[in-house]
A = this chain, B = another copy of it.
């Protein structure tokens, strides 16, 4: 049983050549080629693909929004994003939209077919350079975090604040008095340069202090 693939790409030439590649390859058939995603839901409904190959740059609905739409209407249908460029914003946009993989158009046909199989197999092919960007994104998050010199007790209490505990609840959770909680929270505010619980909570979550 050959896997049914459909392609959205505004480049007609590429559309044809990829379709041909698929049809010539064992295990795949191309069951639809569309120059835009403006009728995406109808297109998918009629062609019943196992996998959608999506270009990012398309007139009308772009590949990222189209991917979101696929996720919305065809929850389990895998989408593999293809693009010419490695722009950070697009990569993360695509990943966030729920794409199952992200490969570059310059990828060799062998690697390309392998990626298709990987996606159909539940994997998530991403090229090395894109993986590097993703990892860098994660580590960048941790780099930026400043040190507010909170003590362990203060971090702990800040954690309770984030959970929405009242001073009274925090006191009993920590086994200390209301007044002591009050003091710890003042000190937290001083160190975080804020003067309300909501600001402290915002900062705590955004800077991953908890």
- A residues engaging B (CB < 8 A)? 68, 71, 92, 95-101, 118, 122-126, 128-129, 131-136, 138-139, 141-143, 161-164, 166, 194, 196-199, 201-202, 205-206
- CA of A124 to CA of B123 in the docked complex: distance in angstroms? 17
| Those 8 A-B pairs whose CB atoms lie nearest each other, nearest first | A164-B199, A124-B132, A98-B139, A95-B138, A123-B128, A124-B131, A96-B142, A124-B135
Q: Which residues of B contact A122 (CB under 8 A)?
A: 132
Contacts A161-B198, A164-B196, A198-B201 hold; do A135 and B143 have CB atoms under 8 A apart? no
Q: How often does this chain occur in the complex, in copies?
A: 2
Judge whether A135 and B97 touch: CB under 8 Å. no
Minimal beta-carbon separation of A191 from chain B (angstroms): 16
On chain B, the residues within 8 Å of A98 by CB distance are 139, 142-143
Contact B128 A135 (CB under 8 A): no
Distance in angstroms between the alpha carbons of A68 and B145 in the assembled complex: 12
The distance in angstroms between the C-alpha atoms of A197 and B199, with both chains bound, is: 10
What residues on B are CB-neighbors of A134 within 8 Å?
95, 124, 134
Question: In the complex, what residue of chain B is closest to A210 when comparing beta carbons?
Answer: B202
- B164–A198 contact, CB under 8 A? yes
- 24 A-B pairs whose Cβ atoms sit less than 8 Å apart in the complex: A96-B139, A96-B142, A97-B139, A98-B139, A98-B143, A99-B139, A118-B128, A123-B131, A124-B131, A124-B134, A124-B135, A124-B136, A125-B128, A126-B135, A131-B131, A162-B198, A162-B202, A163-B199, A163-B202, A164-B202, A197-B198, A201-B201, A201-B205, A202-B205
> Which residue from B68, B139, B164, B198 sits with its C-beta under 8 Å from A95?
B139
